[in-house]
Amino acid sequence: MQLFYNPNISESTKEIIFDKEESRHIVKVLRMKEGDTFSITNGKGSLFSAEILNANPKGCLVKILSEETQQPLPYHLHLAVAPTKLNDRYEWFLEKATEIGISEITPIICDHSERKTIKPERYEKILQSAMKQSLKAYLPVLNKAVSFKDFITSGKSSENLKFIAHCEETDRKSLKSTLLPKKNVLILIGPEGDFSSEEIELAKANSFVPVSLGESRLRTETAAVVACHSVAFVNEN
């Protein structure tokens, strides 16, 4: 199945014109023509079957044939992950987490963060591409980058289970032993230099449970993917 993304499509849409970039991909790269069909998602759970009416590489016009709703994840996973020193490492995490199954991502700027800026437009493209590649109809939400302190103390998180994964040799539980299926989960993943002691204490004071992701010391992006897969695994039937 060939899957495309268009955030403006809804159940009332009859026809839609793709932008120049997507149109060129459809007509020039995939060599699709009038009468060919493919699928479109709006990233909100809907899958639409569409037929090409006008294979114009500057604005491909398609007709919507039918709509179905993809089953959502049986859990809500929010990962708050510090930006990595090398940008492509964070992009790798975004891609893999989307393939595995994630609901929401927040870049958090920590005391030991070497990178304090992100490229949200680039990150959005990575998420969209991974969603299409893995044939998913739900686009993960990418929140604005925020400081660790502001994120922890904002009081906006409504997750049932809140964890902070760190490397300090203090009392920590194993993440896999504390996870439960069908829950709203929030996991904090720190930068290359780990969370500071002050950040760990602040998280604990705000009901975050310290956890370990195993015996190995992991890179930020690896830790985030391990955490993502752990939640997905617990929710497998």
* Domains of the chain, each with CATH number or no CATH: 3-69 (2.40.240.20), 76-234 (3.40.1280.10)
Question: Taking residues 225-229, what's their average pLDDT?
Answer: 97
pLDDT confidence of residue 183: 95
Number of Cβ within a 10 Å radius of residue 15:
12
> What pTM value is reported for the model?
0.92
Residue corresponding to tokens 């989960």: 185
Distance of alpha carbon 74 from alpha carbon 81, whole angstroms:
22
Q: What digits encode the pLDDT tens for the residues 68-96?
A: 999 999 999 999 999 999 999 999 999 99
Instruction: Give the pLDDT band of residue 156 (cuts 50, 70, 90).
Output: low
Instruction: Give the pLDDT band of residue 154 (cuts 50, 70, 90).
Output: confident
**How many DSSP H helices and E strands does the chain contain?**
7, 13
Q: Is the pLDDT of residue 121 over 70?
A: yes
Question: Taking residues 48-52, what's their average pLDDT?
Answer: 97
Based on the number of CB atoms within 10 Å of its own CB, is 171 exposed (0-12), middle (13-18) or buried (19 or more)?
exposed
Residues in contact with 132: Cβ distance below 8 Å, sequence separation at least 6, in sequence order: 3, 4, 5, 41
Q: In this structure, what is the dihedral angle of CA atoms 149, 150, 155, 156, given to the nearest 10 degrees? A: -130
Amino acid (1-letter code) at residue 236: E
- Among residues 227, 233, 183, the alpha carbon closest in space to that of 82 is found at 227
